[in-house]
């Protein structure tokens, strides 16, 4: 038995230690431990404060998905104040804030997702997949000869365009401040909308070129990637992007991405029930009962005396089971990814039986869903039928795919901008409740399901809990640890031995906290091998 220790894992958001034991006769992973090595503790900061202090403070939980924490903290306050309710068994939402506020929040969070997905596909995971041959493909039509050229042409502009879009509606980026309990008081003017559409158009130009290359590269490796990193077969989505433009207005708003769960062996989504959400600390450095419903947990109290603990991550469970969160989970629950599979299967039935290729999830399925969301958000003008599957022509363009899925070809961001009413308000005054109570914020961040819960007594926060997307995936005995078991490990003694385990780890697009990259001065030893 050989042990490998990778600490820190680079090109992810935060501090992660991965330890794997490898069977020397089969050269496969037998056990894995993933340790979140940084204590967050933000919940302790907001105790004793006015509930309205929580969103701006808690946006600092992350430097990437800051807008998601800010918005979900705001939603928890609005739920406590009676301004937001989850209706029809949590499948829909009713709010008293104006339609413009709902739409502008969708724009802020949609832009946040778009740049986060682009960063993952092109920077964080991209190098693991040889950049999908982007350098070679783009050099034929653009001046892209090296990675620095790609950074200059695609990656940095993509983040800049989406940050500028968030700033137009959020005041600044990162850590926008405009979403407050009661709405998003940035009035939609023709000028702001025009500037916003211009940012989306510029982003669309980039994705129209890189998205087909990413899709074609992933599908050419589908056989290998679909067999790597299967999860537990349980998936959760807390829903995102309510639609206030139906005949019901801001009452009983449907969610573009549904709220629900899939529990193995079934692949049929069922309704989300917050009473089924609990967290265990049996293997975590906290002092509390080993398993409690999240809405009954005390404020996190660090305690490193447990000899069985090895992570600052708790272990979220739905109905007692480890559950995967992320783009695959929500596209699976919403039915959008299986619908894409049916479209591809109707053209190449012998190649793609359906999607997900692996019903428990895989490296392939997670990466494709992330790329699908990016294109859905920014739209496409690409009508060239250049999409392939397993190196076979699909005879579809990006525009064809969006049309077949029933998504707007100009993108969700542009659609939300076009549905705003410049003559209507964007804010409703907030009135603090006179009684104590609780509030829940349900949302999907780029990396998955985000749960905020607050308890308020005498007008001050008495307890707060956050279950972040990565907590679901990186938890002790959670989806990532299970996905690593069975992964092949090489025997060359170089960093390429752990390449496929790296693909699995990065397919979850982990976000523990901001960190630095680490490598020795010669660029050689990337892991520690212990006999």
Does 142 have pLDDT greater than 90?
A: no
**pLDDT (average), residues 280-301:** 88
Contacts 24+ apart (CB under 8 A), 166-174: 166/67, 166/108, 166/111, 166/112, 168/192, 168/195, 168/196, 168/199, 169/104, 169/107, 169/108, 169/196, 170/67, 170/108, 173/67, 174/59, 174/63, 174/64, 174/66, 174/67
**pLDDT (average), residues 395-411:** 97
Q: pLDDT category, 10, cuts 50, 70, 90?
A: confident
Output the DSSP codes for 283-325: TBSB-S-SEEEGGGPPSP-B----TT--BS--EEEETTB--EE
In the prediction, which pLDDT does 290 show? 80
Token pair 């917050």 in the structure block, residue: 274
Q: Is the four-CA dihedral 199, 71, 123, 378 of positive or negative sign? A: negative
Summarize pLDDT for 418-475 with one digit per residue, the tens. Answer: 999 999 999 999 999 988 999 999 999 999 999 999 999 999 999 999 999 999 999 9
Does 516 have pLDDT greater than 60?
A: no
In the prediction, which pLDDT does 524 show? 45
Lowest mean pLDDT among 278-292, 331-345, 373-387: 278-292
**pLDDT (average), residues 104-109:** 97
Identify the residue with better confidence: 65 or 67. 67
In the prediction, which pLDDT does 522 show? 44
Does 377 have pLDDT greater than 70?
A: yes
In the prediction, which pLDDT does 515 show? 27
In the prediction, which pLDDT does 386 show? 94
Highest average pLDDT, of 129-133, 257-261, 288-292, 523-527, comes from 257-261
Q: Measured between alpha carbons, how far is residue 436 from residues 50, 97, 240 in Å?
A: 12, 22, 28
Find, among 255, 253, 251, the residue nearest to 96 by Cα: 251
Lowest mean pLDDT among 54-63, 339-348, 363-372: 54-63
In the prediction, which pLDDT does 13 show? 76
Output the DSSP codes for 391-460: TEE----HHHHHHHTT--TT-HHHHHHHT--TTS-SB------SS-EEEEEEEEETTEEEEEEEEEETTE
- Across the chain, what does the average pLDDT equal? 91
**pLDDT (average), residues 223-231:** 95
Lowest mean pLDDT among 35-49, 137-151, 482-496: 137-151
Does 531 have pLDDT greater than 70?
A: no
Q: Is 77 exposed, middle or buried (0-12, 13-18, 19+ CB in 10 A)?
A: buried
Does 103 have pLDDT greater than 60?
A: yes
Summarize pLDDT for 163-210 with one digit per residue, the tens. Answer: 999 999 998 888 888 889 999 999 999 999 999 999 999 999 999 999
SS3 229: coil
**pLDDT (average), residues 133-143:** 77
Lowest mean pLDDT among 13-22, 99-108, 265-274, 403-412: 13-22
Report the percentage of the chain scoring pLDDT > 70. Answer: 96
pTM, entire model = 0.93
The domains found in the chain, sorted by start residue, are 2-40+488-530 (no CATH), 44-266+325-471 (1.10.645.10)
In the prediction, which pLDDT does 513 show? 53
Lowest mean pLDDT among 64-68, 233-237, 345-349, 411-415: 64-68
């Amino acid at each position: 038995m050989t042990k490998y220790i990778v600490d820190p894992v680079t090109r992810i958001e935060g501090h992660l230690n991965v330890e794997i034991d490898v069977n020397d006769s089969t050269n496969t992973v037998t056990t894995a431990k993933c340790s979140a090595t940084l204590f967050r503790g933000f919940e302790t900061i907001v105790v004793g404060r006015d509930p309205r202090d929580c969103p701006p403070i808690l946006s600092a939980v992350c430097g990437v998905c800051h807008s998601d924490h800010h918005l979900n903290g705001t939603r928890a306050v609005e739920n406590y104040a009676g301004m937001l309710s989850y209706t029809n068994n949590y499948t829909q939402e009713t709010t008293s804030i104006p339609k413009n506020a709902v739409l502008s929040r969708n724009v802020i969070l949609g832009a946040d997702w778009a740049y986060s997905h682009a960063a993952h596909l092109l920077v964080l995971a991209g190098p693991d997949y040889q950049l999908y041959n982007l350098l070679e493909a783009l050099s034929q039509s653009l001046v892209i000869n090296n990675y620095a050229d790609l950074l200059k042409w695609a990656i940095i502009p993509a983040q800049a365009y989406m940050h500028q879009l968030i700033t137009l509606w959020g005041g600044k980026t990162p850590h926008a401040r405009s979403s407050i309990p009661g709405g998003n008081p940035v009035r939609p003017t023709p000028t702001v909308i025009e500037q916003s559409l211009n940012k989306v158009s510029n982003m669309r130009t980039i994705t129209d070129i890189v998205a087909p290359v990413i899709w074609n590269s992933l599908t050419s490796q589908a056989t290998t990637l679909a067999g790597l990193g299967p999860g537990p077969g349980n998936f959760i989505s807390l829903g995102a992007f309510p639609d206030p433009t139906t005949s019901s207005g801001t009452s009983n708003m449907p969610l573009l991405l549904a709220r629900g769960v899939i529990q193995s062996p079934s692949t049929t989504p069922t309704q989300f029930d917050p009473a089924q959400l609990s967290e265990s600390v049996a293997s975590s450095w906290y002092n509390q009962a080993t398993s409690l419903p999240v809405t009954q947990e005390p404020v996190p109290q660090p305690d490193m005396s447990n000899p069985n603990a090895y992570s600052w991550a708790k272990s979220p469970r739905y109905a007692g089971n480890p559950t995967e969160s992320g783009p695959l989970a929500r596209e699976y629950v919403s039915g959008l990814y299986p619908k894409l599979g049916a479209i591809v299967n109707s053209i190449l039935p012998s190649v793609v039986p359906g999607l997900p290729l692996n019903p428990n999830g895989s490296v392939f399925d997670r990466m494709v869903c992330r790329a699908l969301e990016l294109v859905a958000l920014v739209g496409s003008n690409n009508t060239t039928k250049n999409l392939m599957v397993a190196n076979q022509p699909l005879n579809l363009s990006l525009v064809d795919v969006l049309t077949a899925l029933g998504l707007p070809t100009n993108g969700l961001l542009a659609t939300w901008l076009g549905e705003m009413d410049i003559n209507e308000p964007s804010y409703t005054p907030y009135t603090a409740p006179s009684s104590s109570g609780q509030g829940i914020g349900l949302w999907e961040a780029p990396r998955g399901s985000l749960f905020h819960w607050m308890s308020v007594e005498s007008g001050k926060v008495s307890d707060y809990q956050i279950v972040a997307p990565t907590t679901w995936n990186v938890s002790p005995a959670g989806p990532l640890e299970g996905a690593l078991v069975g992964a092949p490990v090489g025997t060359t003694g170089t960093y390429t031995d752990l390449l496929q385990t790296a693909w699995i780890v990065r397919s979850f697009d982990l976000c523990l906290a901001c960190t630095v990259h680490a490598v020795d001065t010669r660029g050689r030893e990337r892991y520690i091998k212990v006999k």
